[in-house]
Amino acid sequence: MIRTRYEDWRGEVERGLQVLRSRTERVVPLGLSMGGTLVLDVVSANPDSVAGAVTINAPVLDREGILVKLAPFLEHVLPLVPASAAGLARNDIAKPGMNELAYAWVPAKAGNSLVREFPRIRGQLANVTCPMFVAYSRADHSVPPENSKAILRMLGSKDITELALERSYHVATLDYDLELIEERVTAFVDRVAG
CATH assignment of the domain containing 94: 3.40.50.1820
| Residue 194 maps to a domain | no
CA 24 – CA 40 distance, rounded (Å) = 21
* 40 part of a folded domain: yes
- pLDDT band (50, 70, 90) for residue 67: low
- Determine the pLDDT at residue 80: 81
Domain count, the chain: 1
Q: Is residue 117 part of a domain?
A: yes
Domain with 85, as residue range(s), is 6-18+27-189
In a domain, 60, yes or no: yes
- Mean pLDDT for the stretch of residues 141-167: 97
Residue 1 domain-assigned? no
- Is residue 168 situated within a structural domain? yes
- pLDDT mean across residues, the chain: 92
Q: 166: pLDDT confidence band, cut at 50, 70 and 90?
A: very high
pLDDT at 92: 93
Structural domain contains residue 149: yes
